[in-house]
């Protein structure tokens, strides 16, 4: 399942609540998605280094199972999948007051 491409925001739910939960309410985001593993240049599974929205570097396991990409960020769990040719991204914060942010992007 290819994630690579250009996408345009179609809808989102709980965005401001999610940003508040992780301390980034005033942040601006720009999502660019690429998938190098389509040519098997680098394996997708395994421990990868990444960076949070405030520049904190971390290592986390990245998995791709049943067409769903999954990454455990320090403050939330991220998943992305293609559903009806749309990129659906979900971020879930932990705890009793956890917030689930969902963003749907259409391919352009």
- Higher-confidence residue: 35 or 70? 70
Q: What is the pLDDT of residues 20-65, one digit of tens each?
A: 888 877 655 555 544 443 333 344 556 666 666 667 787 888 888 8
**pTM listed for this prediction:** 0.74
Tokens of 76: 């939330």
Q: How do the domains of the chain map onto residue ranges?
A: 7-107
- The CATH class of 7-107 is mainly beta
| CA triple 4-78-40, angle to 5 deg | 40
Q: How far apart are CA 16 and CA 35, in angstroms?
A: 28
């Amino acid at each position: 399942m290819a994630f690579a491409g250009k996408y345009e925001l179609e809808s989102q739910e709980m965005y401001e609540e999610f940003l508040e939960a992780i301390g980034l309410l005033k942040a601006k985001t720009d999502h660019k998605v690429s998938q190098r593993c389509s040519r098997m240049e680098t394996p997708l599974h395994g421990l990868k280094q990444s960076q949070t929205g405030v520049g904190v570097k971390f290592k986390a396991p990245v998995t791709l199972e049943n067409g769903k990409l999954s990454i455990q960020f320090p403050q939330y769990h991220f998943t992305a999948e293609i559903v009806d040719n749309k990129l659906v991204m979900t971020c879930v914060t932990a705890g009793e007051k956890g917030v689930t942010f969902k963003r749907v992007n259409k391919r352009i």
